[in-house]
Homo-oligomer: A and B are copies of this chain.
Amino acid sequence: MPVPNLRSDVASADDLAQDDGLAAQMAAIGRRARAAGRTLALAPAETKDIALRAVAERLRADRATILRENARDVAAARAAGQGHALIDRLTLDAGRLSAIADAVEKVGALADPVGRQLAAFERPNGLLIERVAVPLGVVGVIFESRPNVTADAGALCLKAGNAAILRAGSDGHRSAVAIAAAMRAGLEAAGLPADAIQIVPTRDRAAVGAMLAGLDGCIDVIVPRGGRGLVERVHAEARVPVFAHLDGLCHLYVAAGADLNMARTILLNSKMRRTGICGAAETLLVDRACAGTHLAPLVSALLEAGCAVRGDATVQGVDPRVTAATEADWRTEYLDAIISARVVDGLDAAIAHIEAYGSHHTDAIVTEDGTQAARFLSEVDSAIVAHNASTQFADGGEFGFGAEIGIATGRMHARGPVGVEQLTTFKYRVHGSGQIRL
């Protein structure tokens, strides 16, 4: 941002120097990350696990410092008039910090994703060709206020042999620096380069721009962790691949042949277990074939659970508390105790609605009809499609990945929960005995 200055020539010279300073600083971070990544890529599984245990210990040992820095962040956020939700996400206490350290240890205990043989084939000429998992390289993580992201994302990147460049939001900057310091000490204790985890030291928003440009080829993928505004900016500006989801507009389709009790249980869980997560259902589709028996009890259950229902004419007809859904409702990710609901004419209409309004994140069908279920699972083009299960299973932990750095709705490389395996790529190793190509 230009500094207001009447002597505009001086101001622009200052700006230039400042921009050059930032550019040089960011470029240096990129180079250090690339170099650290090369070392980490070749680190044995045991060394990485020792490092992650050391990180966890250090997070516990540095508790006083981390909580003090976090308290400064919280005080500054309060003084800046930030809302309750942000303050809550930002605040650490002994219990939360202990949980963060435990999570790092859990990542350490996962199987090493690097070096897995993904495929192997022998060619007629005797060549043995292997496809082997290798780290992605350098992961750039851009996040907002949650202090746990530094530890979680850093640990996942480290486990997968990647260097991480972490850019914390202004509100959580001091907390991120303190947590990263503990992580860097843990890396060094295991003989690994501290620069495998770096926090962007400036709160200048231009640093985000530099990361999105890829730091001269020193960032291989960007993972945004935060609200829609952040993810939108990253998608619009990134010159490197992005693992992210913009929306989690998830549907639950209660099809003909659904067991009512199962549908009700799955619906309440999909919508109400936690309303603020991306796997929460936002739209209920009920098939006309079972609406007569199922619609009223499902709507009642939602209303009784404290969920507002916005429906089409048929849904409004079953309960006066249902308000009218507008076109905008079908496109809205409420992240709240609100659901949109409509009656659809069969499977094709349900799929067409999901295709028109969905976000290709997670969509589920409830039915006892295996043919309908198979068609739904096959034809709905979302990262996760589920039959007779809650949409809230959209989570790396629930998938057994141990932890996730996020959920991706892009089609490339990673799709669905992004765990340590998705933070690797592969290369081909060709083993010969003198073969030449004919």
Whether A388 and B435, one on each chain, are in contact in the complex, defined by CB atoms closer than 8 angstroms, is: yes
Contact of A435 among B385, B390, B437 (CB under 8 A): B390
Residues 122-164 of A contacting B (Cβ, < 8 Å): 123, 127, 129, 134, 136-137
CB-based nearest B residue for A382 = B427
A415 contacts the other chain (Cβ, under 8 Å)?
yes
Whether A415 and B411, one on each chain, are in contact in the complex, defined by CB atoms closer than 8 angstroms, is: no
A434 surroundings in chain B (CB, below 8 A) = 259, 262, 265-266, 388-389
A425 contacts the other chain (Cβ, under 8 Å)?
yes
* Copy count, this protein chain: 2
Contact of A273 among B392, B393, B429, B437 (CB under 8 A): B437
C-alpha spacing A121/B398, complex, angstroms: 12
CB-based nearest B residue for A115 = B378
C-alpha spacing A390/B127, complex, angstroms: 11
Whether B425 and A121, one on each chain, are in contact in the complex, defined by CB atoms closer than 8 angstroms, is: no
C-alpha spacing A432/B377, complex, angstroms: 12
Whether B432 and A427, one on each chain, are in contact in the complex, defined by CB atoms closer than 8 angstroms, is: no
| Residue among A127, A221, A270, A383 with max Cβ neighbours from chain B (10 Å) | A127
C-alpha spacing A259/B432, complex, angstroms: 13
A265 surroundings in chain B (CB, below 8 A) = 434, 436
A233 contacts the other chain (Cβ, under 8 Å)?
no
Whether A388 and B432, one on each chain, are in contact in the complex, defined by CB atoms closer than 8 angstroms, is: yes
A221 surroundings in chain B (CB, below 8 A) = 412
Interface size on A, residues (CB 8 A): 59
A42 contacts the other chain (Cβ, under 8 Å)?
yes
Residues 382-402 of A contacting B (Cβ, < 8 Å): 382-390, 392-393, 395, 398-400
Whether B379 and A42, one on each chain, are in contact in the complex, defined by CB atoms closer than 8 angstroms, is: yes
A433 surroundings in chain B (CB, below 8 A) = 388
CB-based nearest B residue for A383 = B427
A269 contacts the other chain (Cβ, under 8 Å)?
yes
Whether B386 and A430, one on each chain, are in contact in the complex, defined by CB atoms closer than 8 angstroms, is: yes
A336 contacts the other chain (Cβ, under 8 Å)?
no
| Residue among A377, A379, A395, A412 with max Cβ neighbours from chain B (10 Å) | A412
A38 contacts the other chain (Cβ, under 8 Å)?
yes
A10, chain B: closest CB distance, angstroms: 35
A398 surroundings in chain B (CB, below 8 A) = 123, 437
A431 contacts the other chain (Cβ, under 8 Å)?
yes
C-alpha spacing A390/B398, complex, angstroms: 45
> What are 28 sample pairs from A and B whose C-beta atoms fall under 8 A apart?
A41-B381, A42-B378, A121-B400, A129-B399, A134-B381, A220-B412, A262-B434, A265-B434, A265-B436, A269-B437, A383-B427, A383-B428, A384-B427, A385-B427, A386-B430, A386-B432, A387-B430, A387-B432, A388-B433, A389-B430, A390-B435, A392-B436, A392-B437, A393-B435, A398-B437, A412-B425, A415-B428, A416-B428
Nearest 8 interchain pairs by C-beta: A389-B432, A269-B436, A386-B430, A413-B413, A388-B432, A392-B437, A262-B434, A412-B413
